[in-house]
Amino acid sequence: EGVMSKLAKANKDFRAGKYGESVVSYARLLEQSPEMKSHIRFNIELAGRRMSTSPRTNLTRNVNPKVSIIIPAHNVEKYIDEALSSIAKQSLENLEVIIVDDGSTDGTLKTTKAFSEVDQRFKVISISQASGNPGTPRNVGIAFARGEYLAFVDADDWVDADFFNKLYRGAGSEKADIVTASAIFKVSRENLTKIIINAKEY
């Protein structure tokens, strides 16, 4: 199936009001055809806006969030609760958390929806068929993000309570577009030890 036929199918889904399906298709095309980036990005953003106002979704916009945290999730039932709990405890106010369930067949979607029901900062997008890579759900999440900054957290990770507060303050202090957190991994025969480098305090 060629690029143009895939684009035609995505456009057909969009016109039929199948915004979630069209966003996934557009995101996959974005990876396959970077030369069409501007056109496909516009379609993704338009589909995202339409989906955000649909009564069938829970993607009510947070007003001017400081950070949009995007979490791709696929069959991570054992880990997702700890990841989301750590994000729920963040000291930085005005966050939005966009979880993109990438065709999970375990209890991942159930857990993520439970968080969204009790905390309006959490939004869940469900992709019915797994994409097979983290790039597609991340692109889907970006389509709905409205934060001043974007952040990505893996579904089997967790973050300290001040993690995003420090990064956000650091970005503001340095007038930076991109902020990263560093870590060193020390490998021995017995085990793997993760040593965190303390970031500059802001």
pLDDT in the model for residue 192: 52
Tell me the mean pLDDT in the region 128-149. Answer: 85
| Model confidence band, residue 109 (pLDDT cutoffs 50, 70, 90) | very high
How far apart, in whole angstroms, are the C-alpha atoms of residue 38 and residue 201?
A: 38
pLDDT digits (tens, 9 = 90+) for 46-80: 776 666 555 445 555 556 899 999 999 999 999 99
What are the angstrom distances between the C-alpha of 81 and each of 7, 114, 128, 159? 36, 10, 21, 12
pLDDT digits (tens, 9 = 90+) for 165-184: 999 999 998 888 988 876 55
pLDDT in the model for residue 13: 83
> Strands across the sheet with 122-127, in order?
122-127, 95-102, 67-73, 149-152
Higher pLDDT, residue 36 or 54: 36
* Cβ(3)–Cβ(11) below 8 Å: no
pLDDT digits (tens, 9 = 90+) for 90-106: 999 999 999 999 989 99
pLDDT at 82 over 90: yes
Can you read off the two tokens belonging to residue 50? 């339409």
Pairing mode of beta strands 192-196, 183-187 = antiparallel
How far apart, in whole angstroms, are the C-alpha atoms of residue 149 and residue 166?
A: 13
Kindly report the three-state secondary structure assignment for every residue of the chain: CCHHHHHHHHHHHHHCCCHHHHHHHHHHHHHHCHHHHHHHHHHHHHHHHHHHCCCCCCCCCCCCCCEEEEEEECCCCCCHHHHHHHHHCCCCCCEEEEEEEECCCCCHHHHHHHHHHHCCCEEEEEECCCCCCCHHHHHHHHHHCCCCEEEECCCCCCCCCCHHHHHHHHHHHHCCCCCCCCEEEEECCCCEEEEECCCCCC
Can you read off the two tokens belonging to residue 175? 């007038």
pLDDT in the model for residue 72: 95
